[in-house]
Homo-oligomer: A and B are copies of this chain.
């Protein structure tokens, strides 16, 4: 572990545009590290489609144990059309999130004044989604019988525990408490998924007693998507399950400047294992290797990483550099590396 000056970083560039955007995030990280008197000793892990094709491995346990020894993980993107859907997602990305107990998947959304939104009148958008990261329909407790026959049946089980729900709900309340608007919205579908939904609803009711200043409301996930396009400014902190969080954070990214700007942290708040930072976007195989990807989401994910490691000034330096860069974007096309260079220069300056 680190001495609070010299940090170790496990880097998983992954698939598609993952390596390109990761290169830029590391460039910017190095630029601010120098300014803030810290170092990052990096180990790169060759995981993803190429590795799977070569060896059939997604994430061997021994390698996972290696990764676990680091202070934090930076990940690019996972998923490739040449690999059956789910193999890398479940075997690599979700294996990391679940094994390292990343129960808070943190996804901030903010509209930068100068960045266009597909919404005509988005208003002042500045909210954060606290997506549960270790339960729900993502647990992989599904199965199939008589596959490929007319009698096939396939199930997916959403698993939700009081233990798992309460810890993420407490984290979300604490985040709401630290923000000026002090508002928390639970998003679920408790009128249909009554067992899971009522556990979530009761847990929010219970934890609320410890946070009397927080205004709490509830939205069904379908209604939440409506408000995300008609009145996104109403949101402050949203807490929701793994699958609903997946869906609404892509929508949140889309309405606030696009998926090229959306950062995320897979956080283990108890620090029993390293947290992992990655852009919300996927591997975008159609533009991979062409220097067309916007590395901003990966760069902002590095800022979340710095914040998590207790380096808020360095995090702020990246965020300010990104804001300044975004404000001057003219619409002229820059390569992935050019955007990274510009932000690194500002962040170091």
- Taking a contact as CB atoms under 8 Å apart, the answer to whether A195 and B142 are in contact is yes
Number of copies: 2
Per-position 1/0 for A96-107, Cβ under 8 A of B = 000000000000
A223 contacts chain B at the CB level, 8 A cutoff? yes
A140 CB, min distance to chain B CBs, angstroms: 8
Interface residues of A in 249-297 (CB under 8 A from B): 249-251, 253-255, 258-259, 282
- Taking a contact as CB atoms under 8 Å apart, the answer to whether B156 and A162 are in contact is no
Chain B residues closer than 8 Å to A202, beta-carbon distance: 148
- Taking a contact as CB atoms under 8 Å apart, the answer to whether A189 and B243 are in contact is yes
- Taking a contact as CB atoms under 8 Å apart, the answer to whether B162 and A151 are in contact is yes
- Taking a contact as CB atoms under 8 Å apart, the answer to whether A159 and B163 are in contact is no
Q: B148, B193, B228, B282: which contacts A156 (Cβ < 8 A)?
A: B193
Per-position 1/0 for A136-179, Cβ under 8 A of B = 01101011101111111111111111110010000000000000
Chain B residues closer than 8 Å to A198, beta-carbon distance: 85-86, 144, 154
- Taking a contact as CB atoms under 8 Å apart, the answer to whether B118 and A229 are in contact is yes
Chain B residues closer than 8 Å to A137, beta-carbon distance: 137, 156, 158, 192-193
- Taking a contact as CB atoms under 8 Å apart, the answer to whether A153 and B161 are in contact is yes
Scoring A85, A89, A198, A223 by chain B CB atoms within 10 A of each residue's CB, the highest score goes to A85
Interface residues of A in 288-332 (CB under 8 A from B): none
Query: Given A120-B119, A254-B226, A199–B89 Cβ distance below 8 Å?
Result: no
- Taking a contact as CB atoms under 8 Å apart, the answer to whether B161 and A158 are in contact is no
Q: Which residue of B lies closest to A206 (CB)?
A: B148
A221 contacts chain B at the CB level, 8 A cutoff? yes
A180 CB, min distance to chain B CBs, angstroms: 26
**Closest A-B pairs by Cβ, 5 of them:** A222-B250, A86-B194, A152-B162, A225-B251, A142-B195
* Selected A-B contacts with CB under 8 Å, 10 pairs: A79-B191, A90-B191, A118-B230, A137-B137, A142-B193, A150-B166, A155-B195, A222-B246, A225-B225, A226-B254
